[in-house]
C-alpha cells in the first residue's frame, strides 16, 4: 500500500475539521437536521459603547477547484505578447511627372476607291502570255532555213522521226513530251527570246514523233 499523497492528506484534514469521514473526531459531531429551529438564547448583552467582540478565526480554505494550481507549484508564466505587426517595406511612390502638353494622335484609315472592273473584251492577259514580238522573232530564228536549207525545228523533227523508226513509238513520244515540258517550264519561269524559241522548236519539231495512224494504234492496238 502506497503512502497517501499531499492532496489526499489535505482533503483528510479538511474533512476532519468539518466532522465528515472516518477520521472525524467525536467531539465535533455534524449538526442534525431538524425541521424546528432551535431558540436563540443570548449569552451576554453588550452595552452601548463597548467594542465588538473579537471576530472568530476564518474558516479553512475550501477544496481546490478544477484547474487550480497547488501552492507548492509555480504557475506557468503567461505567454509572451505577440510581436508587433511590421508593415512590409515598399518603395516610396515616385513623384508625378511635371505637367506637359497633351498630345493627341488620330489615325484615319483611308478607304481606297474601288478599282474599276476590267472590260470583258480586254486581251491584255493573252498578250502578256503570248508576247507577240518575242514569239515572232524567235519563230523566224528557229523556223527559217538558215543551216543549208534546214531549220532548227526541222532538225529536231528529223531526230524524233529517227527515234520513232529505230527505238519505237513509245521512246519517241516520251522524248518529245519530256523535251516539250522542259522548255515550257523554262519559258514560264524565265521568259526570254531564246526560251520562247526553244518552246517553238519543241512544239513544231515534236510532230516528227507523231504519225497519222497513231490514234488508231493507241485506241485499238492495230499497227499499219
pLDDT score for 182: 92
Specify the pTM: 0.43
Instruction: Match 522548236 to its residue by C-alpha cell.
Output: 201
What's residue 120's pLDDT? 66
Q: For 32-62, what is each residue's pLDDT tens digit?
A: 555 566 777 767 676 777 777 677 777 777 7
pLDDT of residue 32: 55
Query: Cα(first)–Cα(last) distance of the chain, in Å?
Result: 140
Looking at the DSSP bridge assignments, the partners of residue 147 are 150
pLDDT in tens, 134-165: 888 888 888 888 888 888 898 889 888 898 88
Task: Give Cα separations from 141 to 52, 89, 167 (angstroms).
Answer: 159, 91, 30
pLDDT at res. 23:
58
For the chain, the farthest-separated pair of C-alpha atoms sits apart, in whole angstroms, at 179
Upper half-sphere CA count for residue 161 (Cβ side, 13 Å): 12
- pLDDT of 101 over the 80 cut: yes
Please provide residue 150's backbone torsions phi and psi, each rounded to the nearest 5 degrees: -120, 150
Percent of the chain with pLDDT over 70: 79
Amino acid at each position: 500500500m502506497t503512502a497517501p499523497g499531499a492532496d489526499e492528506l489535505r482533503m483528510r484534514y479538511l474533512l476532519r475539521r468539518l466532522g465528515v469521514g472516518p477520521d472525524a473526531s467525536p467531539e465535533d459531531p455534524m449538526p442534525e437536521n431538524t425541521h424546528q429551529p432551535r431558540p436563540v438564547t443570548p449569552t451576554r448583552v453588550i452595552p452601548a459603547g463597548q467594542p465588538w467582540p473579537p471576530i472568530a478565526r476564518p474558516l479553512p480554505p475550501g477544496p481546490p477547484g478544477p484547474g487550480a494550481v497547488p501552492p507548492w507549484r509555480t504557475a506557468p508564466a503567461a505567454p509572451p505578447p505577440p510581436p508587433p505587426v511590421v508593415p512590409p517595406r515598399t518603395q516610396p511612390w515616385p513623384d508625378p511627372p511635371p505637367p506637359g502638353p497633351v498630345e493627341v494622335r488620330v489615325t484615319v484609315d483611308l478607304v481606297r476607291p474601288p478599282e474599276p472592273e476590267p472590260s470583258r473584251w480586254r486581251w491584255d492577259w493573252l498578250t502578256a502570255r503570248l508576247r507577240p514580238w518575242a514569239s515572232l522573232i524567235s519563230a523566224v530564228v528557229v523556223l527559217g532555213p538558215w543551216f543549208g536549207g534546214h531549220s532548227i525545228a526541222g532538225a529536231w523533227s528529223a531526230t524524233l522521226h529517227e527515234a520513232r523508226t529505230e527505238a519505237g513509238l513509245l521512246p519517241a513520244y516520251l522524248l518529245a513530251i519530256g523535251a516539250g515540258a522542259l522548255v515550257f517550264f523554262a519559258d514560264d519561269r524565265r521568259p526570254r527570246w531564246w526560251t520562247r524559241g526553244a518552246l517553238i522548236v519543241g512544239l513544231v519539231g515534236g510532230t516528227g514523233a507523231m504519225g497519222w495512224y497513231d490514234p488508231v494504234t493507241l485506241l485499238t492496238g492495230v499497227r499499219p
